[in-house]
């Protein structure tokens, strides 16, 4: 008995020592400079693949509400190849940049005000994460990423923070996380055990959803070209003559499975060229707002967007030391989205995974939400068309949802999932509408908890 007690004590002591080495106590440029943080947070690397030397960087922000009872949310960024630090500093994390002073301030709409939130840079070669075999590109794909993310969560809960094992677990993210999250959910269910039991569901914004009727972030079809042209036209971006010509040359009458005819493709390209450069993430964006997923928009010389400040900040030696992010010298500099990642999208149709979850885990709570002014990255119209193929019964009809009495979007509940729009939000919903996304997620979690109480 005494030997067992001593062994447990030694394990707990080792965990406490390792944790203290990972704690982030202060940050450069926060509240002046190196001020103490108002909550506990920890960062570092977890090795997920010995053969490839994959090490995933994370930053864990404990809840500012009740650390001991609040759920654990895991956040994955999109891309593939974009960093979870974008979510941490620019979207729903505990800090944000003041673009005038270029200092860090607290984010009043941080999700760690109601949950413990774990931000992951996945896969390797994204952000600070790295591999030692095949570096710097770290060739990978959906299957490997799902397995690496599974190992990451297993090690986080068993070796890093065992007190969170068994806590309500939620997977969250946006954009290409529409692939990451369902694939990781599938891996967790297949593995079984305590993590599968604690997994409550997932919440994804503007998700990639390839489907038979078209795409939401995937391969274009004649159907999705029609949807996109309609979105442009009904927002005043296309002339009536060009809009009418789409019908006149028979593009709208084509079957969804038909190849894209040359004349339709040509006309579509002409329309797009006439629109000119724009930010597909946000119909109303100015040119200082970068495209956080695809990084292709124009910028104004001298414009310091939050993403530019973030890139400058995370490449500072004192910042990397403060957050334990030092890696091998061969690792590329930190970028919002990786320029070296060699990624293969192996898993195309996500809807088959949704049907699997509906059958195997009918207790799951699933939220899909769309910023309604994402005009061309993953617009709500594409998402709705894919989700409609799930053919689930409506349990609460389409209606507005509000924040402080004002319409914040619209929501429709089905027997196995909920779909919501967020008014005035672009592709990265928490970045464009931090308050309403805060309300949407916190209310969804509270409703799920009440249902299971």
Residues in the chain with pLDDT values less than 70: 1-18, 212-219, 286-304, 348
Residue located via tokens 């509906």: 358
Q: What per-residue confidence (pLDDT) applies to 299?
A: 41
Q: What per-residue confidence (pLDDT) applies to 18?
A: 66
Catalytically annotated residue among 175, 198, 305, 338: 175
> Measuring CA to CA, how many Å separate 399 from each of 72, 351, 369, 413?
29, 25, 14, 10
Q: What per-residue confidence (pLDDT) applies to 258?
A: 79
Q: What per-residue confidence (pLDDT) applies to 15?
A: 57
* DSSP label at residue 442: H
pLDDT digits (tens, 9 = 90+) for 83-121: 999 999 999 999 998 877 888 999 999 999 999 999 999
Alpha-carbon span 148 to 209, nearest angstrom: 22
Cα-flanking dihedrals φ and ψ of residue 196, to 5°? -60, -40
Catalytically annotated residue among 186, 305, 427, 437: 427
Alpha-carbon span 294 to 336, nearest angstrom: 10
Q: What per-residue confidence (pLDDT) applies to 243?
A: 97
Alpha-carbon span 446 to 168, nearest angstrom: 12
Sheet containing 41-49: order of strands: 41-49, 54-61, 116-121, 72-76, 169-174, 199-205, 365-371, 418-422, 406-414, 394-403
**Alpha helix ranges (H) inside 37-141:** 84-86
Q: What per-residue confidence (pLDDT) applies to 305?
A: 72
Does residue 301 contact residue 315 with C-beta atoms inside 8 Å? no
Name every residue whose Cβ is closer than 8 Å to that of residue 268 and which is 6 or more positions away in sequence.
Answer: 225, 228, 229, 246, 251
Alpha-carbon span 431 to 330, nearest angstrom: 32
Q: Is position 175 annotated as part of the catalytic site?
A: yes
Name every residue whose Cβ is closer than 8 Å to that of residue 12 and which is 6 or more positions away in sequence.
Answer: none
Q: What per-residue confidence (pLDDT) applies to 11?
A: 47
Half-sphere exposure of residue 101: CA atoms within 13 angstroms, side-chain side: 11
């Amino acid at each position: 008995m005494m030997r067992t007690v001593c062994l447990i004590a030694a394990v707990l002591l080792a965990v406490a020592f390792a944790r203290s080495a990972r704690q982030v106590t202060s940050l450069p440029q926060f509240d002046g400079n190196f001020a103490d943080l108002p909550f506990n947070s920890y960062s570092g690397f977890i090795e997920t693949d010995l053969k490839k030397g994959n090490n995933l960087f994370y930053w864990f922000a404990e809840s500012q509400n009740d650390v001991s009872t609040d759920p654990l949310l895991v956040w994955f960024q999109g891309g593939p190849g974009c960093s979870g630090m974008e979510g941490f500093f620019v979207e729903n994390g505990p800090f944000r940049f003041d673009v005038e002073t270029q200092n860090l301030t607290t984010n009043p709409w941080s999700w760690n005000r109601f949950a413990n939130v774990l931000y992951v840079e996945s896969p390797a070669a994204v952000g600070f994460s790295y591999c030692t075999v095949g570096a710097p590109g770290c060739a990978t794909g959906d299957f490997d990423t799902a397995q690496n993310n599974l190992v990451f969560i297993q090690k986080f809960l068993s070796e890093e923070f065992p007190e969170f094992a068994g806590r309500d677990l939620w997977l969250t993210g946006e954009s290409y996380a529409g692939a990451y999250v369902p694939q990781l959910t599938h891996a967790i269910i297949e593995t079984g055990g305590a993590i599968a039991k604690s997994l409550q569901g997932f919440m994804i914004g503007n998700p990639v959803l390839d489907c038979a009727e078209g795409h939401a972030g995937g391969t274009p079809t004649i159907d999705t070209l029609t949807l996109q042209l309609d979105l442009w036209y009904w927002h005043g971006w296309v002339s009536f003559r060009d809009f009418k010509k789409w019908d006149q040359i028979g593009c709208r009458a084509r079957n969804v499975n038909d190849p894209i005819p040359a004349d339709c493709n040509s006309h579509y390209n002409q329309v797009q060229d006439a629109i000119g450069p724009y930010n597909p993430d946000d119909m109303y964006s100015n040119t200082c707002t970068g495209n956080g997923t695809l990084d292709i928009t124009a910028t104004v010389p001298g414009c310091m967007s939050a993403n530019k400040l973030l890139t400058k900040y995370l490449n500072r030696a004192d910042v990397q030391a403060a957050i334990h992010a030092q890696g091998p010298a061969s690792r590329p500099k930190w970028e919002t989205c990786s320029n070296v990642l060699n990624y293969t999208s192996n898993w195309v149709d996500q809807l088959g995974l949704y049907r699997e979850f509906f059958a195997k885990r009918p207790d799951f709570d699933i939220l899909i939400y769309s910023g309604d002014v994402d005009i061309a990255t993953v617009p709500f119209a594409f998402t709705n068309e894919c989700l409609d193929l799930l053919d689930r019964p409506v349990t609460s009809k389409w209606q507005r949802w509000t924040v402080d009495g004002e319409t914040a979007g619209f929501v429709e509940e089905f027997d196995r999932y909920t779909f919501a729009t967020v008014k005035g939000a672009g592709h990265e919903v928490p970045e464009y509408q931090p308050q309403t996304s805060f309300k949407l997620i916190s209310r969804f979690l509270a409703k799920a908890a009440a249902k299971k109480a």
